[in-house]
A = this chain, B = another copy of it.
Amino acid sequence: MPRLLIQNVDAITLDEQNRVLKNTNIAIEGKRIVAVGEVPQGFVADETIDGHDHVALPGLFNAHTHAAMSLQRGWAEDLPLDRWFNERIWVAESALTEEDVYWGAALAACEMIRGGTVAFADHYFWMHQVARVVEESGLKALLAWCVFGLGAEQEIGGTTLERTVEFVAQYQNAADGRIKTILGPHSPYICSPEFLRRAAEAAAKLGVGIHLHVAESQGQFDQSMREHGKSPVAHLAALGVLDVPTLAGHTICVTDEDIAILAEKRASVVQCPKTHLKLAMGTTRVPDLIAVGVNVALGTDGAASNNDHDMIGVTRLAALAQKQARHDPEVLPSMQALKLATQNGARAMGFGDSGVLKAGAAADVILFNFNRPHLRPRHDLAANIVHSARADDVAYNIVDGRVLLRNGELTTLDEDKILHEAEKRAFRLVGQELRMVREYKA
């Protein structure tokens, strides 16, 4: 098995003691970290990385995104949620082809690898094309084929429940275990109760979970109360959806009772702070969720609202947005914010062996180059990463022991070709008369 040694590096371990180690070593064998600290006797590395003035961190987990929406970056600006959906997103997506999804996801993959993301939870269409990108790029992913349950004539992207069930069965643990799958009914505000119940049953039978959008706005909350007499979370619980492992995107408008349900059902909630700020959606109640033991992770959401796949930026915004919303500068300190972005995401996505630097953990490691004026002085390495670092400071991105970014150079993807092809397709996608398939109300 290939052996990789990172020498003389500072390491934010995110272990149970929150240890920050100065001038240490990380030894990797195959897909595993075998030592942090002393290099094991007789360990001969195939590749050695000089870690001087670099800081190692467990790799970042983007726990809610729609990677191929990078094609719509900058295409739906400064709009309220209903116009954002009806005039832009669902119009462009109705012209989406399989190949568009491949190139859009590949564009996102370039960006994610460069920014220290090691895994992404993707929720979109034509997901075998995203699986292709995962296989080629070396990233990890939890893939959900989004399905609306509206009947064939209103669907886009090949979505039927049967098709997505087939996808799960075919791709679970593909790409040498780097691909995990999950069912992806869109949301309780689009999917019918009967459809959600069927999706939950299918997930239980397949032994997978469900990834969906929950309670993104007061309008959605009110609609749920009107139509079902229950909050979105209570509605999902009543349908049995939360009885399978649930990845609940956004989850902004929740009551105290909803939070208790999420805790009891062991759901994971994904805050997407940039989308929430940009579309003025409010703030996920992260401290309240954490207080009762809900697993809270972070995501970028798609680039049509978030405008990038920068998990460093999202981690910073998560901390800033919580401090502001709670009127409390002590909320979500840097070390905790980093855990949300790493090990909590890993747990939410079924990669529980990642998110910590210690012997036995998955070798998902990123290195920041601290030879940058905005990262000096080094009074507090965690604060410097959360509040000063940028995606571009990531010099190395290592996934399952494989170097995907080496000193700023991508090793697996042809970036020039991807930039060109993705942009060409993006211009076509937004440039024609398009068929609209549904309307967002609420």
Contact = CB atoms under 8 A, between A and B. Distances in A.
Nearest to A418: B373
B320 A278 contact: yes
A330 B278 CA distance: 9
A307 to B, nearest CB: 4
Contacts of A75: 379-380
A374 B310 contact: yes
A181 B117 CA distance: 45
A367 to B, nearest CB: 16
Interface string A262-279: 000000000000101111
A151 interface: no
Contact of A111 (B303, B374, B392): B374
Contacts of A380: 74-75, 77
Contact of A330 (B72, B80, B308, B309): B80
Contacts of A330: 78-80
B111 A73 contact: no
- The 4 tightest CB contacts between A and B, nearest first, are A377-B426, A392-B392, A307-B387, A74-B380
Given A280-B324, A321-B324, A379-B426, 15 more contacts: A74-B384, A74-B388, A75-B380, A77-B387, A78-B329, A79-B329, A80-B330, A277-B321, A278-B320, A278-B323, A280-B329, A303-B388, A308-B388, A324-B324, A377-B422
17 contacts: A70-B373, A74-B378, A74-B379, A80-B329, A84-B329, A111-B373, A278-B387, A280-B327, A280-B328, A307-B384, A308-B374, A324-B324, A373-B419, A376-B423, A376-B426, A377-B423, A392-B392
